[in-house]
Amino acid sequence: MQLPVWFSIVLLISSAALAAGPEPIQFCDQDFPTDVTEVWCIGKPVRDLTPLKGLTKLKTLLMENTQVRDLSPLESLPNLRELNLENAPVKDLRPLAGLENLKALVLSGTQVKDLRPLLGLSKLEDLYLNNTLVSDLTPLRGIRTLKELSLEGTRVTDLTPIAKLTNLFLLNLDHTQVKDLTVLTGFANIEELSFEVTPVRDLTPIKGCSNLVSLYMRNTQVKDLTPLHGLAGLERVALTKAQVGAEQMEALLKAQPEVKVFERTW
């Protein structure tokens, strides 16, 4: 029998029968085993998530490049920990407000603007908002569990709301209009920081980022690399040669001989 392609998904079932190593199983109908823990549906023309209702053991749901708009069926998935909706036409995050076990959320390429439904997600660790309509980070200020935050291509200009998110070890600000990095002064845990193609000028605030390993700042307004001289853990820096000049480059490498500098000439 030809099964409908519109809900062709890959499931990983965690059960005693598959304890030796679960095999991906192709499901094209709406009869989901109750012990499903992972659902993958990448690049399929799926619109309706109703068949997932009641799958209380579901932990991972990957819905990249689908046509999903309505997330209300996810309200009944209390154990969901990882949700990827990249490039889906999602706008409304309200159905996610009660998913208290959610740890990783990818919304890149969606139409999301309002982050207020995320206020109560106290276990959230990874949040990717690349190329969304987000401009206000205020709803995130209390989510101190966040470790990875990616804001590339968003409308964010003010980092003040995330001033207390000092557990972050990855922050991506590429292609935003962020100018001021002052809030990062106390971010001792951050290991990877990127603010390429931004109007950032001053690196002074990151002098206290003692665990910084990777810094990406090509095509910015930065000209003084002196604040990087005391960052003992720094391993790699990406910048545009023309922005700082040879003297600054030489001084950095003298102070930090182990640092690898990746350049662009434009």
Is the pLDDT higher at 115 or at 44? 115
Which tens digits make up the pLDDT trace of 46-79?
A: 889 998 988 999 999 999 999 999 999 999 999 9
Q: Give the pLDDT confidence score for residue 264 in this predicted structure.
A: 67
- What's the mean pLDDT in 246-264? 91
135-266 has the same fold as 1-125: yes
* Secondary structure of residue 160 in the 3-state scheme: helix
What gap in Å lies between CA 57 and CA 35, rounded to an integer?
6
> Model confidence over 102-113: pLDDT tens digits?
999 999 999 999
The pLDDT mean for the chain works out to 88
Query: For residue 35, is pLDDT > 90?
Result: no
pLDDT over 60 at 21, yes or no: no
Q: What is the pLDDT of residues 137-175, one digit of tens each?
A: 999 999 999 999 999 999 999 999 999 999 999 999 999
Name which residue leads in pLDDT, 219 or 21: 219
The CATH architecture one would assign to domain 1-125 is Alpha-Beta Horseshoe (3.80)
As a whole number of angstroms, the distance between CA 207 and CA 186 comes to 9
Domain ranges of the chain: 1-125, 135-266
pLDDT of residue 242: 74
**Domain 135-266 top-level CATH class:** alpha beta
Which of 1-5, 42-46, 172-176, 183-187 is the least confident region?
A: 1-5
Residues of the chain with pLDDT > 90: what percent? 76
**pLDDT, position 42:** 83
pTM of the model: 0.88
